[in-house]
């Protein structure tokens, strides 16, 4: 029994310590955005890596998600004679929930893992140490631009996801299944309120920061060579997915 309590205590202490370290890492990383030298070019490079290069996968995921929502929504609503509400159902599902969450999960799988691998390899090949010895802060040169890029790119990708998803729902609901185009869009306009959009934006900001924070942190603290990079990459994908879903619940309950 004593051993169990000791084990539990050690686990809790480790968790608290690790959480504190991640928060300090985040604060340092963000604070360095306001300390010269400013690095707009590095931020743009990272927006390209994290955002632009994720666009195709976001487009595909959004299109098929919207199409599935259109199909499922149509047959569910038809039972109640409410096919006209299809546009509202698709738009609300996407803007409030599926857009931010699925975008975050896709970015985590594509860009989050890449960020961990890149920073992890920089760690094990002493490139981060080399920056340090040149009196260049590795957090400012490597991590800060990625955090800012996550904050900028993920909300934009979420907006793309929402729009393409709505078009996917339109394609199935209106073009294939014959719902009136006017009711699809008017239902959407009447049902979606600014709070829905604001909630989606806040979620995507939080998710973007969470994913890149976890990815950078895991990469930055990689140990034990190639195996360590592999482990860190794996942890990034799993942890950021869990955190995104946990944040989603908290933020949804806040915005309801």
Partner 1 sequence: MIQVIDLHKSFNGQAVLDGINLEIPTGKITVVIGKSGVGKSVLLKHLIGLLKPDRGQVLVDGLDITKLQGRKLQDLKRRFAVLFQGGALFDSLNVFENIAFPLREKTRLPETEIRRRVHERLEQMNLSLEAGGKFPDELSGGMKKRVALARAMIQEPEIILFDEPVTGLDPPMSNTVFHLIKKTHAVSNYTALVVAHDIPEVFQIADVVAMLHHGRIIACCGPEEIQHHSDPVVQSFIRGEPDFLEA
Using the rule CB under 8 A, is 132 a contact of partner 1? Answer: yes
Q: If binding is defined by CB under 8 A, does position 195 make contact with partner 1?
A: no
Q: Is 134 in the site for partner 1 (CB under 8 A)?
A: yes
Residues 130, 176, 189, 195: which binds partner 1 (CB under 8 A)?
Answer: 130
Sign of CA pseudo-dihedral 143, 145, 147, 149: negative
Closest Cα partner for 199 from 251, 237, 160, 125? 251
If one asks whether residue 44 binds partner 1 (CB under 8 A), the answer comes out as no
- 103 vs 233 by CB, closer to partner 1: 233
164 Cβ contact list (under 8 Å, min separation 6): 58, 59, 62, 63, 66
CA distances from 237 to 22, 78, 107, 117 (A): 16, 39, 10, 11
Taking the least distance from each CB to partner 1, the nearer of 49 and 158 is: 49
Q: Which of 133, 178, 253, 256 binds partner 1 (CB under 8 A)?
A: 133
CB of 134 to partner 1, least distance (A): 5
- Out of 13, 15, 20, 129, the only residue in the binding site for partner 1 (CB under 8 A) is 129
List the alpha helices (DSSP H) in the chain: 2-31, 40-50, 55-78, 86-92, 99-107, 113-124, 127-133, 138, 144-170, 181-191, 194-220, 225-255
| CB atoms closer than 10 angstroms to residue 54 | 22
Q: Does 126 bind partner 1 (CB under 8 A)?
A: yes
Closest approach of Cβ 205 to partner 1, in Å?
A: 27
What the block records as the tokens of 130 is 């080399």
By beta-carbon proximity to partner 1, the closer residue of 121 and 201 is: 121
Residue 121 or residue 163: which is nearer to partner 1 going by CB? 121
Contact range with partner 1 by CB under 8 A, out of 130-138, 186-194, 197-205, 233-241:
130-138
Q: Residue 58: which of 194, 191, 204, 176 has the closest Cα?
A: 204
Taking contact as CB under 8 A, which single stretch among the options 133-141, 150-158, 186-194, 232-240 is the one that binds partner 1?
Answer: 133-141
Cα–Cα distance, 117 to 231 (Å, whole number) = 10
Cα(104)–Cα(155) distance, integer angstroms: 9
Q: Which two tokens stand for residue 207?
A: 């998710």
Contacts of partner 1 in 135-164 (CB under 8 A):
135-136
Task: Give, as ranges, the residues between 64 and 123 that touch partner 1 (CB under 8 A).
Answer: 121-122
Which residues ranging from 18 to 37 are in contact with partner 1 (CB under 8 A)? 37
- With binding defined as CB under 8 A, does residue 125 bind partner 1? yes
Q: Which is nearer to partner 1, 46 or 162 (CB)?
A: 46
The footprint of partner 1 (CB under 8 A) covers: 37, 121-122, 125-127, 129-130, 132-136
């Amino acid at each position: 029994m004593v051993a169990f309590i000791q084990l539990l205590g050690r686990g809790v202490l480790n968790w608290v310590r690790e959480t504190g370290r991640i928060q300090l890492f985040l604060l340092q990383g963000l604070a360095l955005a306001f300390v010269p030298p400013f690095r707009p070019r590095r931020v743009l490079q990272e927006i390209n890596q994290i955002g632009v290069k994720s666009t195709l996968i976001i487009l595909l995921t959004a299109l098929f998600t919207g199409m599935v929502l259109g199909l499922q929504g149509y047959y569910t609503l038809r039972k109640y004679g409410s096919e006209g509400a299809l546009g509202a159902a698709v738009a609300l599902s996407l803007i409030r929930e599926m857009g931010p969450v699925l975008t975050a999960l896709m970015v985590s799988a594509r860009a989050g893992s890449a960020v961990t691998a890149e920073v992890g390899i920089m760690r094990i090949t002493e490139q981060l140490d080399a920056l340090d010895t040149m009196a260049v802060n590795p957090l400012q040169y490597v991590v800060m631009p990625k955090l800012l890029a996550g904050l900028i790119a993920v909300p934009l990708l979420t907006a793309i996801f929402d729009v393409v998803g709505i078009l996917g729902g339109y394609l199935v609901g209106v073009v294939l299944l014959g719902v009136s185009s006017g009711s699809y869009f008017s239902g959407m306009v009447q049902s979606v309120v600014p709070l829905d959009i604001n909630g989606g934006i806040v979620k995507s900001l939080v998710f973007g920061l969470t994913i890149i924070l976890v990815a950078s942190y895991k990469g930055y603290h990689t140990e034990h060579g190639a195996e360590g990079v592999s482990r860190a990459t794996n942890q990034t994908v799993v942890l950021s997915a869990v955190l995104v879903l946990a944040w989603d619940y908290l933020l949804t309950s806040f915005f309801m």
